[in-house]
């Protein structure tokens, strides 16, 4: 078993239920890009280094996520539209215990 199910609400408010592999070293930002749930060039701009906030999302389910790194914390402190449940998608790695995770993409900066 190497796929988990995710619910992702895109920036237009549309809900997508997708399968994400846990054995491909993928993160949430990459899953969103692989399903093209946000236009290329509007998500994952820095490539996943926690150096932009284009993959910011709001975590809606009560999954236990890994703690934010200093880099993620610092980036979110400068991002816009930040809420208490904001995370950077590129810092959330797909693991079996994230099965059923529900997130909403934060608006693009412009």
Partner 1 sequence: MIKTDILIIGAGPTGLFAVFEAGLLQLKCHLIDALPQAGGQCSEIYPKKPIYDIPGYPEVLAGELVDNLMEQIKPFQPGFTLGERAETIDKLEDGTFVVTTNKGTKHHAPVVAIAGGLGSFEPRKPLLDNLAKYEDNGVAYMIKEPEMYRGKKVLIAGGGDSALDWSIFLADIADEVTLVHRRNEFRGALDSVEKVQHLKNEGKINLMTPSEVVALHGENALEKVTVQNVDTSEETEVEVDHFIPLFGLSPKLGPIADWGLEIEKNAIKVDNSYDYQTNIPGIYAIGDVNTYPGKLKLILCGFHEATLMCQSAYQRIFPDKKYVMKYTTVGGVTGFDGTKKEAPKAVVKSID
Binding to partner 1 (CB under 8 A) within 39-78 occurs at: 39-42, 45-46, 49, 51-52, 70, 73-74, 77-78
Q: Which CB sits closer to partner 1, 75 or 98?
A: 75
* Cβ neighbours around 30 below 10 Å, total: 21
Whether residue 70 contacts residue 5, with contact meaning beta carbons closer than 8 Å, is answered with no
Residue 85 binding partner 1, by CB under 8 A: no
CB of 35 to partner 1, least distance (A): 14
Q: Which CB sits closer to partner 1, 53 or 98?
A: 53
56 token code pair? 């910011």
Residues in contact with partner 1, counted by CB under 8 A, come to a total of 18
Rounded Cα distance between 52 and 45, Å, is 7
Q: Which CB sits closer to partner 1, 17 or 40?
A: 40
Rounded Cα distance between 2 and 95, Å, is 9
DSSP, res 94 = -
Number of residues that make up the chain: 110
Residue 24 binding partner 1, by CB under 8 A: no
| 75: alpha, beta or left? (left if phi > 0; alpha if psi -120 to 50) | alpha
- Site residues (vs partner 1, CB under 8 A): 39-42, 45-46, 49, 51-52, 70, 73-74, 77-78, 80-81, 109-110
């Amino acid at each position: 078993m190497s796929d988990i199910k995710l619910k992702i609400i895109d920036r237009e408010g549309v809900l997508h239920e997708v399968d994400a592999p846990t054995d491909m070293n993928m993160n949430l930002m990459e899953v969103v890009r692989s399903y093209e749930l946000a236009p290329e060039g509007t998500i994952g701009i820095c490539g996943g280094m926690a150096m932009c906030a284009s993959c910011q999302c709001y975590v809606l389910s009560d999954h236990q996520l890994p703690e934010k790194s200093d880099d993620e914390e610092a980036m979110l402190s400068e991002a816009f539209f930040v809420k208490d449940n904001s995370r950077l998608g590129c810092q959330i790695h797909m693991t079996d215990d994230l099965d059923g995770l529900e997130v909403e993409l934060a608006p693009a900066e412009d």
